[in-house]
Structure 1
Amino acid sequence: MPQLSLQGLSETWLLKQLGHQHWMMLANLAGQKAPSFIDERGDPVYAAFCAISIQDGDFGSARENDELMVRSRLRRVTQTQMLSRHRLLVAGRPIGQVEMVSVFVRRGLTGGNHTVSRFVVPGLPKPEPYRGREDLPGRAAAMRAGHLKEHMGFALDRPIGTPVVPIDPCPAQDFNGAGFLYFSSFASFVDRAEWQFARDCAQTATTVRRDIFFAGNLDPGETLTVGLVDQRYAQGLGDLKPGSQTLSHHCRLVRTGDNQPIAEVFTIRQIS
């Protein structure tokens, strides 16, 4: 049952499934029966995620034989960016929402995952602009430009503390067919790091909120670190069950070879 983890709906499976859904919706928007995006040289063009946000997660309530319904919408928000929203329901009950912002990219002439650049795919509908920083595309743009001072209550200028967990991604498990470190692996790496710095509660933790802002990628064979920037504990918030506790943390993923940050990950987990 790949859809479930030890504590309910598998976040890793869900992200992979929604990533595929996003890709197929892009093809449909472009009038393609199957995804086949190329540039003027005939080289492949890919959709790379620059931000994802899981909100109001109640994944721990999902059980074996439950039927998950996903209601998805996609729109173009800039010349190169696409935004999809996915509402998750079990027996008509919401268990979360996921937003995903992607950009079309192509590799440079030298190849490799350090040389990708944005590409404007022709034939798509005109953009429907997002509102501003309160929307995920706007917040991601502000993050890339260094215009944000905080996110989810975490200061962005804090240095990495301890622990720093080394990760050696496995090409057979962590990369996709296009040769990129797959976006769902970033969340998986943070969970592995959480197992190191919060083992006492990590085994029963489920994701309530997770925002990932991507800034780079790896080539197969390269390594990275997951560094804990900050963490905090609090009593249950909002619609969480009474008496529950949350663990929140900000982690930074850094490419080892050049010390380049490749993602900022902000997480709120409910502790059973």
Structure 2
Amino acid sequence: MSTLRRTERIRPGMCGHNSLLAGQIGDWTWDAVSKTCGTDVLRAEDASGNPTYLSFYYYRVRGSRRFHLRSPAFGDELHITTRLFGFGSESVLTLHRIGRSAAQAARPLDPEDFYAFGDPDCLYVENFNRWVVRGPGAGNGGLVRSSPPDFDHRHLPELPEKYSPRHACGRARRTLTFLEHGDRRPAAELAVEYEVDPSRDLNGAGLLYFAAYFSIIDRALLCLWRSLGRDDRSFLDRVVVDQQLCYLGNADAGQPLTVAVRLWERPGGGEAVDVVLRDRDTGRVLAVCSLQLEGEQDR
């Protein structure tokens, strides 16, 4: 079994102008892996008895003006279809198709349909996760791969190679963007300083929480937004129809980061934004993110 379905009613802790829904979807990914692969993801251990974590390496959210990451509101009922794909003993891919009706959830979820992103009333979420443990040092910068012995992946279907998230992430690592910009120059650029906040950015394992990356990126985007003379209302009203995020490293509480933001005009209308998170002191890249925003003329 690699396909699961669930129905969720949106509560206050699951939505808003923040990263709450991104975090909730990540929890659904962990639930799906636990149910499908014979591993209690919340209490997983490697062969040496060390806690091992199903870390996020790639997170993509694709939607539309009618349904995007910030569309769900209090009381909305969501119908989620989830399917897992195997990537060996150390990684797993989870696809979520999220809609508002049971009829949407009843449709099969196959890769061709998913990657066509054809239903504007569905949200398409792709999570690629890797098992990691802390290395010999005490900090969060030395995570190494290590999977639990009871992680059962051999029954999972294989994803067609053309859809593999490794292609997108490889490009992001090399070029620091998921997008094709050609020889165009960005319309605006800004570098923002950020210090990992121990009061809000860490998860229960003491790691920089995967959904906190979304918040850090949004904070940097807001700084750029204001630098362009735009008001906060227009920031809250922004429609992000596609967001791709590759996690390349973690960070400790209090660690200073530099967040570089570049704004591009999209040839077909709207705007695109590239965000790169780095360790300020070493320059090590921690994450690369690209967002595509719908233009006012498309609304």
State TM-score, norm by structure 2.
0.75
Verify the 8 A CA contact 1:247 1:271 in the aligned structure 2: yes
**1:43 maps onto 2:50 in alignment:** yes
CA spacing shift, 1:45–1:150, aligned 2, 3 Å: closer
2:96 maps to 1:86 = yes
Paired residues, number: 255
Name the structure 2 match of 1:209.
242
Q: What do residues 41-84 of structure 1 show as CA deviations (whole Å, max 9, x unaligned)?
A: 21100111111111124235544432122222223223311101
**Does the aligned pair in 1 maintain the 2:243–2:289 contact within 8 Å?**
yes
Gaps of 5+ in 2: 1-11, 105-120
- Residue 125 of structure 1, aligned match among 125, 129, 153: 153
Aligned-pair distance for 1:141? 4.3
SS in 1 for 2:142: coil
Per-residue deviation, 1:34: 6.3
Q: Are residues 181 and 255 of structure 1, via their aligned partners in 2, closer, same or farther at CA, if it must alter by over 3 Å?
A: same
Conserved? CA contact 2:83–2:96, under 8 Å: yes
3-state SS, counterpart of residue 213 of structure 2: helix
Name the % identity. Answer: 22
Task: Kindly report which structure 2 residues correspond to 1:138-149, keeping only aligned pairs within 5 A, or say none.
Answer: 138-141=167-170, 143-144=172-173, 146=174
1:27 counterpart SS class: helix
Q: Which amino acid aligns with 1:82?
A: V
Partners of 1:78 and 1:128 within 8 A in 2: no
Report the TM-score when normalising by structure 1: 0.82
Return the structure number with greater relative CO, CA threshold 8 A, min gap 6.
Answer: 2
The answer on whether the counterparts of 2:52 and 2:147 sit within 8 Å (CA) in structure 1 is no
Distance 1:24 1:155, change over 3 A: farther
Contact 1:80 1:118 in 2 (8 A): yes
Structure 2 distance, partners of 1:114, 1:106, is 11
What CA distance in whole angstroms lies between the structure 1 residues aligned with 2:195 and 2:147? 33
> What residue is the counterpart of 1:266 in the other structure?
290
Residue number among 64, 78, 86 corresponding to 1:76 in the alignment: 86
Task: State the partner residue of 1:240.
Answer: none
Q: Deviations over 1:234-260 (max 9, x none)?
A: 665xxxxxxxxx221111111112111
Find the partner of 1:167 among 189, 194, 198. 194
Kept in 2: contact 1:130–1:137 (CA 8 A): no
User: Does 2:285 match 1:256?
Assistant: no
Distance between the aligned counterparts of 2:130 and 2:294, measured in 1? 31
Partner residue, 1:99: 126
Match of 2:60 among 32, 53, 61: 53
Write out aligned runs for 1:190-209 (5 A): 190-199=217-226, 200=230, 201-209=234-242
SS in 2 for 1:264: strand
In 2, the alpha carbon distance for the partners of 1:53 and 1:153 equals: 17
Alpha-carbon contact 2:202-2:209 (below 8 Å) kept: yes
Task: Identify unmatched segments of 5+ residues in structure 1.
Answer: 237-245
Q: What's the CA shift for 1:172?
A: 2.2
Cα separation, 2, equivalents of 1:51 and 1:253: 15
What is the match of residue 26 of structure 2?
19
Q: Give 2:292's aligned amino acid.
A: I
Larger helix proportion, structure 1 or 2?
2
